[in-house]
Structure 1
Amino acid sequence: MATPLVFKSLQNFVTAFHYCWACPLDWNTTRKEFVSTTSLNLLIPWRIVVFGLIPAMFVQCVAIILLNIYGIITPPLKTLLLCSILGVLTLLGIAVEFLVLLHAESLQFGCNYMIRMAKRETRVVPGRIDQLGLFLNVNVVVFAIYPFFITPLILYFKLDPFYLFGKHVGNLEISTLLGCLLTYPPRLLQFLCIFQVCRLYTLLICLVSLTAILLVNELHALDVLAFLTRFSGPAILMGSAIILSVLFNFMSIKLYSVIPMPLYLFFPSVAVLIPVIADTLMPLSIRVNEKAQNLKEKWSRNFVHSAGRKYLRRKLMGINPLHILCGIGGFNFLKLIKSTKAWFYAQILNYSISALLTEPGH
């Protein structure tokens, strides 16, 4: 069920990012519902960051990786891994922001509809700790702090994409006074990119959690479920989680003596945070299948005393329990069922071990 603490996380989200520019989808604390911004004039700062600064950061990261693959430059291993992490985060951020922009009004209507349904079921179970609500509120605080923690450190230790691109690709003399004066303004703009990406992931986690709770409790809303069973989001999020987990695990274990200590603390924290997020969100999606399976078994028991039980049982056998599919472009890779969770963690463990065995720590 959707508890008051779950809705409180959305209120805290607005408080934590209240100084942010207008975005296509936001939470209104007064009306307690999502609102969309479709005016292009109001979205000018957002468009500059999402379609200007973040793609520039992504291109710089990809350029460093590709030039290393073709042997043109030879940056350190920590540079390549950091560019890989930032490349995945920025690419996913651009894709999700673009989809939100295209479907802002539809998302607003759908989310508000689901929230109205959730509020009808909102209640607190006495003596029970709301673990999901606590996690969502902690998640808001953590992602709100990350931009102010990460940006000064990567600028101080010269690990930001703009500096790395200028050093390894442009061969610029950034250590000189003139080089610092020319490069520091665009380097500082990278804070806006990190801030926007953290805001997006915070909203995404809160929104996915809330809608998943509703789908579990309101299984009869087949029009909503039919859309989500064809949605590509689970596959994209699970794939990104596996890639990022492997990268963060590798950097946390292998490069602890290479990355400066204040900045190093970021990598173990995220390496732990990603499985925690997955362990929180995945059971909510899997529970859709479990509820549907239980409902099918209940129908089967009720058919025992029915007049046309043979026909009804044949009819019931042809019904597959509802589940959320993981797929992209019509190609489904797996179903979100009970065994998926073990498979997901096995993939993270397998690829993390493979990565640790392929490269010596240097």
Structure 2
Amino acid sequence: MLEHIVAAGTLYSLYFMEEVSARLGWAWEPREVTPGRRPVMEIAGIDQRLIGWQSTRRQQVEDALPLLVADYEERQGHPPGERAAYALDRQAADRTRPPKRKVPQSLSELRERWRASAIRAFGACTVYRLAERARAAAAAVWARVRPVVDIALAAVDTVAVVYVMRGAFKRHHLLAEARRHLSYTLRGRHHQPGLDELIVQTAIDDYTRPVGRRMMTADLRALYPRDLEDQAVLRPLTRNRSALPYERARLAADALRVRVQAERRADRLGSRTRPRTVAVPSAPRSRPRPFHSDRKGGRVPEQPTDVATVEQTRRTLAEAALAMVQEGARERAVHDLRPQPAPATTPPPHTQQPGTLHAPGRTTGGVA
């Protein structure tokens, strides 16, 4: 169970964000604590001064870390790498950890103490209007961010990040990253149950291949069918040690997302029916030019159609229709001004005798 602790933690964070947003109407947004590292999700609209005021442990670690780094460089002769930097960070956290309180305090006592401390530091207006500002910031987040999950893009994003960070991975690594993707995308909105499993299964089916009995790695041949080398697209990012791992992972995810969108665009353009060619006169006229066919070849000569040609055709037809309407109006006006002949005297109606059928053009006679 220990290897699934990260996936379980991301699931808890996802449900916690959704519960807070549903009850209080707040939204979440990513905040970069350390440049180049994975961002953390925090409530939108919270004053950064309050966040820094509560992050006392992080500040204590940052103050103790330079001494440990200097000691490491003196002993080893080079700056610490990724693993060494993480170990030094944990060592600084252990050294600065305060002793536990012998007398426990209740939650109500802690809340009163925290409220009084915040009011002394930032004023009562900042503290008591905290929820109102968070709801206003949430409205701005919902207006800016669409909480829509694209399964294919989520699968590509998950595979790219996990592959660059780990190389070979297992299913629970993909599951943890898929849940992080949902938290970044939905910002506290409710997700459909099983959506994280669907993202992982799509990633495994389309963008991975097995390595050994229990591990797998990325397989991008579905996106790059002409890639002769194995993962040649992502290899420069994995070998670039000058950037931090998560920064390289985001670059890889963005590149694959652009590739997926380009393929979708190409599929849409390829499935569209081509527009018919339109013959356009060289200059706009009041009347449309008569249409002539090629009698020798027995076909209609076609001209290449582009956006400018179609637009010119539309304008020409509109001008021709307007000219015809104006000419018809002038003809009707002239006709109304001419003297009209006196109406002929209408002959009195006559009654038809029973049994008599009048033929057209005859006045009398019929068949009895």
| Range into which the TM-score falls when normalised by the shorter chain | under 0.3
TM-score (norm 1): 0.27
Instruction: Indicate the structure with greater helix content.
Output: 1
TM-score (norm 2): 0.26
Q: Relative CO higher for 1 or 2, CA cutoff 8 Å, sep ≥ 6?
A: 1
